Amino acid sequence: MTDIIGWIASFMFALCALPQSIHCYKVGNSRGISSLFIWMWLIGEILMQYYVIMKHGFDMPLLVNYWINTVLILVILKYKYWERK
């Protein structure tokens, strides 16, 4: 039961960035989001992945969360610097 809760929580946290990523894709930019925020979020996700692997090994519920978040942040970051006209 604990693993199921961990997986559900992981997907819920990972999908938090999905609406913003979709919005950025639809409008073709991420003008309303601070660059500093996006970069700090991305660096935090990457460092946390390293921490989890070093401290807990391949704890998949945690890593899947961070991997999905990293991809979604990269989508937001793409539209920050390469707006679609």
Instruction: Quote the CA–CA distance of 54 and 41 in Å, as a whole number.
Output: 20
Number of domains observed in the structure of the chain: 1
- In eight-state DSSP terms, residue 32 is T
pTM value > 0.85: yes
CATH of the domain at 72: 1.20.1280.290
Instruction: Give the range of the structural domain holding residue 35, as residue numbers without chain letter.
Output: 2-81
DSSP H helical ranges for the chain: 2-14, 18-27, 35-56, 60-81
User: What pLDDT does 27 receive?
Assistant: 96
User: How would you write the pLDDT of the chain (85 residues) with one tens digit per residue?
Assistant: 888 998 999 889 889 999 999 999 999 999 999 999 999 999 999 999 999 999 999 999 999 999 999 999 999 999 999 998 7
